[in-house]
Structures are given as structure tokens and as C-alpha cells.
Amino acid sequence: ENAHKPFPARNHPQSLSSVSPMISLKMIVISVLILLVTPLHSNEIRTSPHLWQKQRRHRALATSKHSQPHSIAPIWGAYDTHFVDLWIGHPEPQRVTTVIDTTSQITAFPCIGCSNCGIGNHMDYYFNYGHTSTFAAKSCEECWMGECDGLKCHMNHTYRKESHWDAFEASDRCYAGGFHFLAVTEEAQEAMTDDATKVRDYAFDLSFACQNTLTGPLAESLQDGV
């Protein structure tokens, strides 16, 4: 009665020699297809199609002889707003901190002679166009953003928060970013190896509103302009 019952017979797997030739052919075809569709870069297999395309673009830019250089300017944040450093003028650029305003395309800040335009509140003194050799006030024929008042290209703007300014349109050489407390001059660029000195290579002609009156919250803000 206590005798052990024999284990049931197991189904032994078929030997390799007994596998159907048709199944073997299908396995070979599937293996070949997998090799054909697998990307050359194994790390791309684990990424999404969007990231895969982005990685390929980055590699193309890095290896292309015709890729365009880039300049990066930091965005600062203070008092519930964001601003960027603009360095304007030549040969000694002057710093102008400007609020990033998405409601207007106009760059505006106080210039020397501006009446009660926030001196003592702003980070910097008024922009002194007498100290730059590349400054130019726009004539009536050159008006782009303003209107001719008979002598200069006049501009004005009023914001929702009751700030208002009057100005004349001007242009000067400008670069964005670089050092926060130090202007990058030609001498500094030649003497220093820091990447931040390369911002002068991306300087451009900036058209802006050179303010001569300013009222409202903008006159009390930390930043110089907008």
C-alpha cells in the first residue's frame, strides 16, 4: 500500500534533427530582418523617435564643417521678473540690464540727460552715448520704430502698469551676456582665454529707444530698461 507510484512519463523535447525545415527557414528570415532594421547606434534603440532624431541632429551639427556658431546669454531673475545683460557701445561697452518683455519688440532704457528716470534705483547709471564711437541717433529718413518730429525719430510707449517713456530712436553696437560685472573689450578678449570673452564675436547693431523721460514703476525698478 505504501509503495511509491511511478512518475508519469515526461514528454521529451524533439531533437534538433527533428525540427521542421520550414520552421528553421522562418527563423533565419526573421533574424535577417532584425539585422536590417536595427539602427547602427545601439544607444538609439532605447530612445524615443523624437530623441533619436534630436541626437542625430546634434551629431550632424557637431561634425558639419558649415555649422553656425552659437552664443549663450544668461537670464537673471529678481523681484518677480527676468532680465538680461546687454553691453552697448565701443570701445568700452556699457552694461544695460533690460527686463525681458514679451509684449513689445522695443528695447528701451534711459540715456544721459534723462529727467528723473530712476537713477539711484537702477543697477547702472544712464547710458552715456558720448562715450561710444559707434552710437548714432536715427534721422527722420532712418526711422524704423518711431516717427519723425522734425529733428529726430521720436518714440514713446505706455504700459498697462502706468509706466510711460519718451525717447528718440538710436543704434549702437551690442552684445548680450558675457561677464556680469566686466565689459569684454578688445584688449580683454586678447588677454583672456575664458569662453565668456567670445561674446564680442557675436556683436550686432541694436536699434533702441534712448529715453529722455520715464515715469511709473519702471523708474523705480532694479533693472535699467526693458
Whether the upstream peptide bond of residue 91 has omega within 30° of 0, thus cis, is yes
Which element (helix H / strand E) includes 58?
helix 49-63
Residue 43 has pLDDT above 60, yes or no: no
Q: What is the pLDDT of residue 110?
A: 96
Closest of 103, 96, 104, 98 to residue 81, by C-alpha: 98
Residue 204 has pLDDT above 90, yes or no: yes
Instruction: Check residue 126 and give its pLDDT.
Output: 95
| C-alpha dist (Å) from residue 109 to 36, 119, 221 | 61, 12, 12
Higher pLDDT, 127 or 199: 127
- Between the alpha carbon of residue 70 and those of residues 56, 59, 67, 225, the distances in Å are 18, 15, 9, 25
Yes or no: say if 188 and 197 are a contact pair by the CB < 8 Å rule: yes
Q: Assess contact for 62 and 72: CB atoms under 8 A.
A: no
Q: Is the dihedral of CA 109, 70, 74, 81 positive or negative?
A: positive
Q: Which residue has the higher pLDDT, 154 or 37?
A: 154
Q: What is the reported pLDDT for 135?
A: 98
Q: Can you tell me which residue has the cell 513689445? A: 104
User: Using an 8 Å Cβ cutoff, are 132 and 126 in contact?
Assistant: no
The mean pLDDT of 46-57, rounded to a whole number, is 48
C-alpha angle 114-214-80 in degrees, rounded to nearest 5:
125
89: cell is 557701445
Calculate the average pLDDT of the chain.
77
Instruction: Say which residue, 173 or 56, is predicted with more confidence.
Output: 173
> Count of CB atoms within 10 A of residue 162's CB?
10
**0.85 exceeded by pTM:** no
C-alpha cell recorded at residue 150? 522734425
pLDDT, one tens digit per residue, over 75-119 is 777 667 888 999 999 999 999 999 888 878 899 999 999 988 988
d(CA 193, CA 79): 34
